[in-house]
Amino acid sequence: MVIKRTGISLPEEVLDQIDRLISKLNIPSRSRAISEAIMRYVTDWSWLLEEEEKKVMGALTILYDHTARDIMGRLTKIQHHYLDEIVTSVHVHVTHDTCLEVIIVKGAISRIRSLVNEFEKISGIKCVRFALTGIQ
Ligand code: NI
């Protein structure tokens, strides 16, 4: 494997967290940790490089603050626009304010990408994660 050097700028807090993880996980270097993080990002998003109409299936996991203004209504409304893509969903009340929603999806890459984008636009969403795999 050819290794190339590049320079990146990161917020101090992020570097501090990386350094704490490096020490906890016994990772040999900062470069190794950052490289693994980038590879995970590339793996997570590589399905986007496939053809738009290719079918994927998997789970979207959304963590959000249910007290944020109209968040429940917005989440529900978006999901009703993707009836053909949403197979099922599970809602878990995590803490007094935080909810976790796991949504199983199946459909064309273009539609799933658009669904993920709509969720990411909502304020009050703490994170949207997904694990998708090609099915065709
Ligand atoms: Ni809840």
Tens of pLDDT along 93-119?
Answer: 999 999 999 999 999 999 999 999 999
Q: So where are the chain's domains?
A: 12-47, 50-134
- Span from the CA of 109 to the centroid of ligand 1 (angstroms): 28
- Span from the CA of 86 to the centroid of ligand 1 (angstroms): 19
Beta-bridge partner residues of 104? 59, 88
Tens of pLDDT along 26-42?
Answer: 999 999 999 999 998 88
How would DSSP label each residue in the chain? -----------HHHHHHHHHHHHHHT-S-HHHHHHHHHHHHHHHHGGGGS-TT-EEEEEEEEEEETTSTTHHHHHHHHHHT-TTTEEEEEEEE-SSSEEEEEEEEEEEHHHHHHHHHHHHHSTTEEEEEEEEEE--
Report the length, in residues, of the chain.
136
pTM greater than the 0.85 cutoff: no
Residue 59 has pLDDT above 90, yes or no: yes
- Span from the CA of 80 to the centroid of ligand 1 (angstroms): 18
Residue 25 has pLDDT above 80, yes or no: yes
Q: What CATH topology corresponds to 50-134?
A: Alpha-Beta Plaits (3.30.70)
Residue 136 has pLDDT above 90, yes or no: no
- Span from the CA of 132 to the centroid of ligand 1 (angstroms): 24
State percent of the chain over pLDDT 90: 69
What is the model's pLDDT at position 49?
83
